[in-house]
Amino acid sequence: MRKYFLIAAICICMISAQMVVSNASIHVQIFEEGLTDHKTIPSTLPVETEHFAEEAFAFFYIPHRYVYSGVRADRPTLLLIRATGQIELPAGEHRLLIRSLGKSQLKIDDQMLAQTPPVRHRTDGQDSFQFQQLDLGDDIRRPAPGVSEQLATFQSQGGIHQVVFEFLVGGILEPPESDYEKVLRAEVNETTVSIQLSGDRNFYLLTAKPGNLPYTDKGWWDFKQRREIYYSQLEAGRRKNQWQQWKPYWDHRHEYARSWSQENPAPEPRLNNNPNSNYIDQFLTHDLYDLTIAGDSNHSLDNTTSISGPGSNFQQTVWPIMEAKCRHCHSGEKAAGGLWLDLPSTAWFEVSDSGTVPIIAGNAIDSELFRRITIDDDSKRMPPSNSGQVLTAEEVMIFRRWINAGAELNQLISTRPYQHSQSLSDLAFLRKVYYDTVGIPPTEIEIEQFQAHPANKRRSQVI
């Protein structure tokens, strides 16, 4: 009886495995453990780390894996990727082309058809290795620098064939392969299997029913864009599944934050004729407006509150003295006496490392700063008498008046009018976004996609 149950279980497993391959079109497995080096594809498969579905035997990206908290997991330096699928071919002799950055092999019905060598010392296409010139026609997409390619023929009687494509990603180059130990990036670059069907002049990416994905520049970009959406959804699902156990915790935090923000609404600085609608631009414009008023007491942010008043001369009178005669010793990591004068700070009104309060607003006599600049003992007076920066009687009086008036710290205001830069054009904006985030300018296709969006939504779409 047990024997029959065992046979039934094995049959169910075999049927389930076939359904996975069939329904997913191309079944892709990633292996991270049990790999020895970047030159050898193991004959016995190690334990699978993960799997996903693919549309074709074509790879340009490895989906991220996530730990329990939803954070990306680090992958090892060497990976094995195995793609399997049942492919329907018409009768005839077909040509298959494999491309890979490193070691790869293609099998059809357990027959080894083609292999590419392990990754070379240089992968930028600048080595001395001479590639064979393959007769592939004019329309096929050219290989990326450093990518090896191999052509093979396969005779089919027509029908379904089992295809297995395996390739290694990453690894470590050691002498004499390299002058030093070099860790290769775990990236696939552009690893593909394409097919030229009998009687056809064009190559197509190998799919369950080849012939619908031309392996041209345009065909590749269309395929890549479609798969990028898939990978994004795949990663979002993985991330969501992993952090489900943390969801109650974050839901509680978010609810608390929403409640707090409703009870404590954020300030919304607004200026007359301010065209900006979002909070960040409002705050920035508010600060830039401060820079343009240049200390003019007739200007204010709401035309009712003047920036002048008791102690408003800090920026014009007190701060220049501090910059010229005090900051040399009271700035940086080792500020003398623990008093930092790098920038105006409310810490001046708190107990310092020495146990004293540098400035007591409204009381110059009891302020430690004022006591030290007026003390009779030359060895304790600041600045030191041998520094060449001794304060004059007028400068001491400026400090006295400022502290007694309340020691207000006015925002430092530039005496030069601030000029707003002109808004970037759409194309200049797109170029800047790509340089700042990707490091290279947008392609012609990406520019066309950007311009295809409505003018008022282009920038938000690209962001």
Query: What whole-number distance in Å separates Cα of residue 314 and Cα of residue 272?
Result: 28
| 376 and 444, same domain (yes or no) | no
| 388 and 340, same domain (yes or no) | yes
| 335 and 372, same domain (yes or no) | yes
Considering the domain boundaries, does residue 128 fall inside one?
Answer: no
Domain end call among 187, 207, 242: 242
**CATH code for position 155:** 2.60.120
Per-residue pLDDT of the chain (463 residues; tens, 9 = 90+): 444 434 444 343 443 333 333 334 899 999 999 888 888 899 899 999 999 999 999 999 999 999 888 888 889 989 999 999 999 999 999 999 999 999 999 999 999 999 999 987 655 555 655 556 677 877 899 988 888 999 999 999 999 999 999 999 998 877 766 666 778 888 899 999 999 999 999 999 999 999 999 999 999 999 999 999 999 999 999 998 888 888 898 899 999 999 999 998 877 666 555 554 566 766 776 666 555 544 444 443 333 333 334 444 677 788 788 888 887 777 766 666 667 776 666 677 888 777 788 888 888 888 888 888 888 887 888 888 777 778 888 888 888 888 888 888 765 444 455 566 778 899 999 999 999 998 899 999 899 999 999 998 898 888 8
Considering the domain boundaries, does residue 304 fall inside one?
Answer: no
| 451 and 342, same domain (yes or no) | no
Query: Checking DSSP bridges between strand 191-196 and strand 204-205, what pairing results, if any?
Result: antiparallel
pLDDT value, residue 95: 95
pLDDT value, residue 354: 74
Domain count, the chain: 3
Task: Say if CB 38 and CB 102 are below 8 A apart.
Answer: yes
C-alpha distances in angstroms, 108 versus 45, 100, 194, 308, 383?
Answer: 17, 18, 13, 84, 86
Considering the domain boundaries, does residue 287 fall inside one?
Answer: no
pLDDT value, residue 7: 43
pLDDT value, residue 23: 38
Task: Say if CB 54 and CB 83 are below 8 A apart.
Answer: yes
| 79 and 148, same domain (yes or no) | yes
Name the DSSP letter for residue 380. T
Query: What whole-number distance in Å separates Cα of residue 363 and Cα of residue 344?
Result: 19
Considering the domain boundaries, does residue 375 fall inside one?
Answer: yes
| 341 and 427, same domain (yes or no) | no
| 379 and 451, same domain (yes or no) | no
pLDDT value, residue 325: 82
Considering the domain boundaries, does residue 94 fall inside one?
Answer: yes
Query: Which residues, 6+ apart, have CB-to-CB distance to 172 below 8 Å?
Result: 37, 38, 77, 78, 181, 182, 183, 184
| 174 and 101, same domain (yes or no) | yes
Considering the domain boundaries, does residue 255 fall inside one?
Answer: no
* Domain hosting residue 365, numbered range: 309-404
| 216 and 325, same domain (yes or no) | no
Q: To which residue do tokens 């830039």 refer?
A: 288
Domain end call among 225, 242, 259: 242
Query: What whole-number distance in Å separates Cα of residue 154 and Cα of residue 193?
Result: 13
| 62 and 180, same domain (yes or no) | yes
In this structure, what token pair is assigned to residue 4? Answer: 């029959």
Dihedrals phi, psi of 234, to nearest 5 degrees: -60, -45
Considering the domain boundaries, does residue 251 fall inside one?
Answer: no
Considering the domain boundaries, does residue 249 fall inside one?
Answer: no
pTM: 0.55
pLDDT value, residue 368: 84
Domain end call among 188, 216, 242: 242
| 13 and 72, same domain (yes or no) | yes
| 102 and 152, same domain (yes or no) | yes
Angle at 33 between CA 32 and CA 39, to 5 degrees: 80
Distinct helix (H) and strand (E) counts, the chain: 10, 12
pLDDT value, residue 20: 35
